[in-house]
Amino acid sequence: MTSEYLTNAKEIQIKMAQGAKPGEGGQLPGTKVYPWIAKARHTTPGVGLISPPPHHDIYSIEDLAELIHDLKNANRAARISVKLVAEVGVGTIAAGVAKAHADVVLVSGYDGGTGASPLTSTTHAGLPWELGLAETHQTLVLNNLRSRVVVETDGQLKTGRDVAIAALLGAEEFGFATAPLVSVGCIMMRVCHLNTCPAGVATQDPRLREKFAGKPEHVVHFMRFVAQHLREIMAELGFRTVQEMVGRVDRLEAKAAVDHWKAHGFDFSNILYRPDLGPEVGRFQTQFQDHGLEKSLDLTQLLDLCKPAIEHGAKVEASLPIRNVNRVVGTITGSEVTKKWGAQGLPDDTIKIHFTGSAGQSFGAFMPRGMSFTLEGDANDYVGKGLSGGRLVVFPPKKSTFAPEENIIIGNVALYGATGGEVFVRGMAGERFAVRNSGVDTVVEAVGDHGCEYMTGGRVVVLGPTGRNFGAGMSGGVAYLLDDAGTGQARINAQMVEIGRVEDADEAEALRALIARHVHHTGSTHAQRILDAWPTTLPKFLRVIPKDYKRVLACLKRAHDQGLSGDEAIMAAFEENSRDLSRVGGN
């Protein structure tokens, strides 16, 4: 997600899981990653995309709270929603989400889905939304958390009756997807992943897309019918507003269902339980979450300092102390830059801030072009998360006596989902460095386990040891690892990548220039020693490049050799790559 994308959103949703495939990530085959899709997702046309099943920055409810806080800083006006799936215990998770200051909790049922969900998931995983919604509402009421959050549900809502039942079970917002899709022509062929949708809905094939007959009016009419059906049910029950219906399970009658021979003996008492804790405990959202933004370093100092740059593009330089209670430093300021100057941001180094001390979580998250932060000290997790064109430089205090290349100076999950910019770190990084990096050029002096996992773009240079499982799921970009000990290859997950040496002279010069920039910004003596002995250190670098990415680059080179350029060259390379994939059975 770029700063521009987040700044223009009205609601930002963190999908912790999907109802139709809980615990699994989606996959987009290379033949469907058309150039315009690759551009939107900051990847390479023709290279398949893997959405990791877990969020690699969320391993606890505290991590989720941090992401919610990050996103609220990126767009103070947007609602932050968290999507959960209906499952046993979802109420406890929803309570944690409410305490983590989410604005909306969405409980999704197993009946929805994309048509590309694995058959094992659609037939053997998930629960109906009714069960998850009832447990969520009851748990939130029992813990006096219900009034803090909006509860939404989805998963094959089709009629006004479905909406009425959802409201009575505790929801105040309702999601529709499959039914409106059918109203515009979807015939449920469930071949969304094959690019062969005969209705022209889930395909990028121009010939098939011509068959699409849907119009916006079709969805409008469908939703009007749903609303009319709901009005009739509300009139019958005696409710004037949907808000009055929320949590009124006493208006649901299960006796007729239980008396049916197929359901004889079913006990619905847990689903229809209504906690009665008095009028002071709300059963729908009545108050807004306190995100604590007014305490941020941006709103207390940075925004005023950077006002000339934001309003007029004037250069700003400053030095500030920083403590680890200062989280998400630069994100609110970056969002204001993006609002004023758009995706292109400001000229490089328009805003230059030198920090001294220990930075908290998410230092420089989602920072746009034109902002350059230097940190003399160390930083916690998520440095440069979602970086959108800015520059981050981290090095130890000048008075420190330890060897930076042997000590961790930034925490885990740095550069997660970053889309552009530069990062130079004089020292070691923690685990999951540059996971899903989509365009940042970075130099670091050592990384922990799972480096560059699911990376799709950019260049990563590691001037020292790497942890285990480097490059797992990597589908784009290039990594260069200095392998002094000769054991680095064993730590790379070679399933999707090719491991070689830097043999091209231009590429070697570009690598050298990147390391020289690292020396310029950080004063790294370790990197300087590498440059001083360049003829002997260059052969020690391992070059890690994804196999599919390398193939697409070769196709693009052939297109350029034929005299094509720009979008024409990219499209020609994509079509050649797709033909190759079809011959070998796809990816």
Please report which confidence band the pLDDT of residue 584 belongs to, taking 50, 70 and 90 as the band edges: low
3-16+55-260 fold: TIM Barrel (3.20.20)
pLDDT at 10 over 70: yes
Phi-psi region of 144 (alpha: psi -120 to 50; beta: other; left: phi over 0): left
Mean pLDDT, residues 397-420? 95
Q: What three-state secondary structure class fits 388? A: strand
CA distances for 434 relative to 132, 143, 315, 452, angstroms: 35, 38, 30, 5
Does the pLDDT of residue 110 top 90, yes or no? no
Q: Sheet holding 150-154: strands in order across?
A: 11-15, 79-85, 104-108, 150-154, 173-174
Q: How confident is the model at residue 21 (pLDDT cuts 50, 70, 90)?
A: confident
Give me the pLDDT at residue 583, please.
67
The pLDDT confidence band at residue 261, using thresholds 50, 70 and 90, is confident
Question: Chain-wide mean pLDDT for the chain?
Answer: 92
Write out pLDDT tens, residues 365-375. 999 999 999 99
- Supply the pTM of this predicted model: 0.93
CA angle (552, 557, 559) in 5-degree steps = 95
pLDDT at 124: 77
- Beta-carbon neighbour count of residue 554 at 10 Å? 13
Tokens for 520, please give them: 């310029």
Domain ranges of the chain: 3-16+55-260
User: Which residues in 98-212 belong to E strands, given as ranges?
Assistant: 104-108, 150-154, 173-174
Please, which pLDDT band fits residue 266 given cuts at 50, 70 and 90?
confident
